[in-house]
Amino acid sequence: MEMPLPSRMILDQKATLVARLAEALGADGVIHAETELRAYECDALTAYRCPPLAVVLPRSTEEVAEAVKICAAMGVPIVPRGAGTSLAGGSLPTADSVILGVARMNQVLEIDYPNRFIRVETGMTNLSVTGAVEGAGFFYAPDPSSQLACAISGNIAMNSGGAHCLKYGVTTNNLMGVKLVTAAGEIVEVGGAHLDPVGYDLLGVICGSEGQLGIVTEATLRILASPEGARPVLMGFDSSETAGACVADIIKSGVIPVAIEFMDKLCIHATEDHAHAGYPLDVEALLIVEVEGSGSEIEEQLSTIKEVANRHEPMVLRESKSEAESAAIWLGRKSAFGAMGQLGDYICLDGTVPVSELPRVLKGTADLAEKYGLQVANVFHAGDGNMHPLIIFNANAPGELEKAEALGADILRLCVDAGGCLSGEHGVGVEKRDLMEHQYAAEDLAQQMDVKDVFDPDWMFNPAKVFPLAASEGRRGA
């Protein structure tokens, strides 16, 4: 992965930079010893590593603004970091950059049940937001698989989704406002407790901008009343294509489940070995379909869904009969990524396709995997076409990482060519940066970079991400 060459001038100024940051944030707010910087050399895309020049861990928005002003004055790039769980390398540093981590800013600032929002500092983890309101019968809907660890700041940067966004939407649909530190170190509020923007929808473009437009230090998040109950049903099919076709038919039936999750045989077996969820082992693919409501409402929805499923002659159709059975069904799905680890190293892709294209893209993925001689497991959010092919490889075997990456790029091109996109919920980061030209024409990317120019004229925030380096070169240097 190509990254811009670090600036010698910035590297030479490290001592001055660290001294000024320490003066503003206190000595314990700045990490600069080489051994300690190792902890920040990568995020969850571990194939790429580079320790930053320094790390700052501010305690307040004002401290964030101070750090930004100091870096701006010295021309030092800033790489924002939440919990470092990005699968796309969104917080991968360069040697001449400062990581700005919001991990110490993790307080709840306000909970307003009558108006159904919570205001938090963005270092809070996703799950702890729900934790703060569930006692009162509320929850925060976006639920990425990493929700125990990932921070709201990163969720906003990548517009994170999760299993339940088929019904509740992704981060952008649940984000009402932010406090933002601009590239000039100004502190501004965008959005808030009201429901729609004044002027241009800047909040809409800040969300999902991968930390390139500003540092989000506080967020106003919509909270929803928890449903009375939920129940999953598990269906097994004799082919991935049939399972894919069933997904499209369920959606056409007029019932929108909260989640439709898909796992293929390779994934089912790995998961079952790991989590013992009681999944059927003789099927080629399974779906987990969950609906919500009261007991009678659940029955009403499931009767439609089962009728649709039966048209596809499922090998297994198992409705959860108890809390314990429901928990087991979800336990398997939620531990799928961890379970895949026993098969080897893996790259997790994130391409999204129209639901109607699922059967064809699943077949195409299998064909490509065979051509490359690598195993690909599939576990994903089928209801919205957000695929997560997992490419299994051995990182210690010379050339395998490169081979796996090449397969990954081919699969993502297949997704784009099927009318889809490179990333449904992980973001572009460095991982998919150089594929952007497959999805977008030069003018499309230029228009996006124009937005970056306006918010961050010197390209100080996360400069080497999202856009192909050659495309952004003239702007980054400006």
Q: Which of residues 420-459 bind another protein (CB under 8 A)?
A: 420-428, 432, 436, 439-441, 443-445, 447-448, 450-455
Residue 43 or 96: which CB sits closer to another protein? 43
The structure tokens listed for 404 are 């796996």
The structure tokens listed for 301 are 């929805």
Please count the residues of this chain forming the interface with another protein, following the rule CB under 8 A: 93
Residue 222 dihedral angles phi and psi, to the nearest 5°: -75, 135
Residue 194 or 276: which CB sits closer to another protein? 194
Residue 400 or 458: which CB sits closer to another protein? 458
Which residues between 352 and 411 bind another protein (CB under 8 A)? 352-356, 381, 383-386
Residue 30 or 233: which CB sits closer to another protein? 233
Minimum distance from residue 339 beta carbon to another protein (Å): 23
Query: From the list 251, 270, 376, 411, which residue makes contact with another protein (rule: CB under 8 A)?
Result: 251
Minimum distance from residue 278 beta carbon to another protein (Å): 29
Residue 212 dihedral angles phi and psi, to the nearest 5°: -95, -10
Helix (H, G, I), strand (E, B) or coil at 337: helix
Minimum distance from residue 172 beta carbon to another protein (Å): 7
Minimum distance from residue 418 beta carbon to another protein (Å): 9
Minimum distance from residue 333 beta carbon to another protein (Å): 17
Helix (H, G, I), strand (E, B) or coil at 236: strand
Minimum distance from residue 62 beta carbon to another protein (Å): 16
Which residues between 126 and 185 bind another protein (CB under 8 A)? 137-138, 158-159, 161, 165-166, 169-170, 172-173, 182, 184
Residue 20 or 381: which CB sits closer to another protein? 381
Minimum distance from residue 74 beta carbon to another protein (Å): 22
Minimum distance from residue 187 beta carbon to another protein (Å): 9
d(CA 255, CA 304): 8
Minimum distance from residue 48 beta carbon to another protein (Å): 20
- DSSP H/E element including 473: helix 469-477
Minimum distance from residue 425 beta carbon to another protein (Å): 6
d(CA 119, CA 104): 16
CB-based contact 416:352 (threshold 8 Å): no
Residue 199 or 474: which CB sits closer to another protein? 199
Binding mask 190-209 for another protein (x = CB under 8 A): x-xxxxxxxxxxxxxx-xxx
Minimum distance from residue 458 beta carbon to another protein (Å): 14
d(CA 467, CA 475): 11
The structure tokens listed for 398 are 């010379």
Query: From the list 107, 294, 310, 394, which residue makes contact with another protein (rule: CB under 8 A)?
Result: 294
Residues near 83 by Cβ (< 8 Å), separated by ≥ 6? 103, 123, 125, 146, 149, 150, 151, 154
Residue 284 or 453: which CB sits closer to another protein? 453
Query: From the list 131, 278, 293, 468, which residue makes contact with another protein (rule: CB under 8 A)?
Result: 293
Note whether 6 binds another protein by CB under 8 A. no
Query: From the list 241, 297, 325, 417, which residue makes contact with another protein (rule: CB under 8 A)?
Result: 297
Residue 64 or 428: which CB sits closer to another protein? 428
DSSP state, residue 224: E
How far, CA to CA in Å, does 240 sit from each of 43, 81, 96, 111, 367?
A: 32, 37, 47, 44, 13
CB-based contact 332:267 (threshold 8 Å): no
Is the C-alpha dihedral spanning 63, 67, 73, 78 positive or negative?
negative
Which residues between 23 and 82 bind another protein (CB under 8 A)? none
CB-based contact 154:163 (threshold 8 Å): no
Residue 83 or 250: which CB sits closer to another protein? 250
Phi-psi region at 4: left, alpha or beta (left = phi > 0; alpha = psi -120 to 50) = beta
Which residues between 96 and 125 bind another protein (CB under 8 A)? 112-116
- With contacts defined by CB under 8 A, name the span among 71-79, 225-233, 327-335, 367-375 that binds another protein: 225-233
d(CA 14, CA 301): 61
Task: Identify the burial level of 274 via C-beta atoms within 10 angstroms of its C-beta, where 0-12 means exposed, 13-18 middle and 19 or more buried.
Answer: middle
Residue 255 or 406: which CB sits closer to another protein? 255
Angle at 333 between CA 313 and CA 143, to 5 degrees: 120
Residue 18 or 439: which CB sits closer to another protein? 439
DSSP 20-46: HHHHHH-GGGEE--HHHHGGGS--S-T
Residues near 285 by Cβ (< 8 Å), separated by ≥ 6? 236, 237, 239, 240, 242, 243, 244, 262, 263, 264, 265, 268, 378
